[in-house]
A = this chain, B = another copy of it.
């Protein structure tokens, strides 16, 4: 048989979605959800925290005549519940209610809820629309913004997922008022990540306002400036590379060893905390490699310290752990390390090759972080 092309299938799938600042859970026909969802059947997927803190608003939306809410489905969160089993439970409960293909999933919660709900939405009948309402800082500036969703498998973080754009993302600063301080820190870590390698202005904003933001209030003018800048910065990073065809990504800063760190500590270290540790480690490594000045390293570490984010953990001095973590990162980035390193505040360079980052240099970087005052 000579190879012969019988035919070809080609198409494009464009998407475009807005990130809208609004009072997201406002009921009635003037509310933002009614404006977007219209009369389409809706499923509200909510986390336990959202039920606890915003149960009354959720109930109001469920009964809202301006919406067509089929059901409110509570979804268990925590990294241990971020699994295909939870996704399958969501699919089952949607099927039970005969949720149709033209329905809209409204996901209200933190990053784990959004990642899980969006994957379920992308799989249900091969994909229904999803609107993301992030209720944590991390979700608002990071998890809700992109088109990635996914769940963990026994082998690691987000190993089962999809690129699946939402229909809209709603950002509501008032929802941050009830957020535990530990989770505010986690969100700030993602903002620091972006600032250190890509946005010197955001870094200055963080130095000036992040401390007050942490203490609260979290929806005043400077809080919104901080969050808007983080969101637009994130969108700028994603815009040319939404599907990650380019595996050298600035937003991977803070995400080189952190997935392994979370898994190794059985998720006792939360995602943002792991990101902060990873940022500190690679900032110190950048200094040791001669691409970042000591004063800049001190500014990064100083900001982490001020916000109560750890910059050192004993496992970061464990060569075996680091070796495995880098190997996992390589497998995820096209079999190359492609690790972003700050080269001055707000700019970066990539360490493409594992050979450019000796393990003992990383260990030395960790020791430096432990030792420095």
**Could you tell me which A residues sit within 8 Å of B by CB distance?**
1-23, 32, 35, 84, 87-88, 91-92, 95-96, 98-102, 122-127, 145-148, 150, 153-156, 158-163, 165, 171-174, 228, 231-232, 235, 238-239, 242-244, 247, 327, 330-335
A159 contacts B91, C-beta separation under 8 Å: yes
Most buried by B among A20, A159, A174, A238: A159
A21 contacts B9, C-beta separation under 8 Å: no
Please name the residue on chain B nearest to A242 by beta carbon: B11
B13 contacts A243, C-beta separation under 8 Å: yes
Please name the residue on chain B nearest to A21 by beta carbon: B4
| Known contacts A3-B21, A91-B159; is-contact A165 B100 (Cβ 8 Å) | no
Please name the residue on chain B nearest to A41 by beta carbon: B335
22 CB-based A-B contacts, threshold 8 Å: A1-B22, A3-B21, A3-B22, A4-B21, A5-B18, A6-B19, A6-B20, A8-B17, A9-B15, A9-B19, A9-B239, A10-B14, A11-B14, A11-B239, A95-B153, A96-B155, A98-B327, A100-B332, A101-B332, A124-B160, A125-B159, A126-B161
| Known contacts A1-B21, A101-B332, A155-B96; is-contact A8 B235 (Cβ 8 Å) | yes
How many subunits of this chain does the assembly comprise?
A: 2
- Which residues of chain B have C-beta atoms less than 8 A from A14's C-beta? 10-12
A220 CA / B265 CA spacing, docked (Å): 61
- Which residues of chain B have C-beta atoms less than 8 A from A102's C-beta? 334-335
A18 contacts B8, C-beta separation under 8 Å: yes
- Which residues of chain B have C-beta atoms less than 8 A from A330's C-beta? 100
- Which residues of chain B have C-beta atoms less than 8 A from A13's C-beta? 12-13, 163, 243
Please name the residue on chain B nearest to A328 by beta carbon: B98
- Which residues of chain B have C-beta atoms less than 8 A from A173's C-beta? 1
- Which residues of chain B have C-beta atoms less than 8 A from A231's C-beta? 6-7
B9 contacts A242, C-beta separation under 8 Å: yes
- Which residues of chain B have C-beta atoms less than 8 A from A91's C-beta? 153, 155, 159-160
- Which residues of chain B have C-beta atoms less than 8 A from A9's C-beta? 15-17, 19, 145-147, 165, 235, 238-239, 242
A123 CA / B162 CA spacing, docked (Å): 6
A126 contacts B84, C-beta separation under 8 Å: no
Return A352 CB to nearest CB of chain B, in Å: 14
- Of B8, B12, B239, B334, the residue contacting A101 (CB under 8 A) is B334
A155 contacts B92, C-beta separation under 8 Å: yes
Give the top 5 A-B pairs by smallest Cβ distance, nearest first: A95-B155, A10-B16, A11-B242, A3-B22, A126-B161
Return A68 CB to nearest CB of chain B, in Å: 11
Please name the residue on chain B nearest to A5 by beta carbon: B18
A102 CA / B233 CA spacing, docked (Å): 28
Please name the residue on chain B nearest to A83 by beta carbon: B88
B1 contacts A122, C-beta separation under 8 Å: no
B160 contacts A123, C-beta separation under 8 Å: yes
A5 contacts B19, C-beta separation under 8 Å: yes
